[in-house]
Amino acid sequence: MYAELVNDAFEYSEAEIDAYYAERSDEYDYFKYRSFTVRAENLSEEDFETTEEYEAADLAAIEEARAKAAEYVATISDEQDFIQ
């Protein structure tokens, strides 16, 4: 098969492979991570009599979400904490 012939024709030394990887490691390396999403309550401006009331409630919702996230982060010290 042609593809196998082409592939077999490539010959690289270990040093060449290492050098290629060193220049492009960010394209090949990866990492695992866990995430925890906290969203502020989605408010509708139509539910408030004034824009100021809406903005105050929206800010309060954001601060509540921020506090919830900070509380959660304070309980995490390793991966097991995150999973539980």
What residues make up the domain containing 64?
Answer: 2-83
Residue 47 neighbours by CB under 8 Å, 6+ apart:
54
Q: For the segment 23-35, what is each residue's pLDDT rounded down to a tens digit?
A: 988 888 887 788 8
**How high is the pLDDT of residue 74?**
93
Rounded CA separation 54/50 (Å): 6
Q: For the segment 47-74, what is each residue's pLDDT rounded down to a tens digit?
A: 999 999 999 999 999 999 999 999 999 9
User: How many structural domains are present in the chain?
Assistant: 1
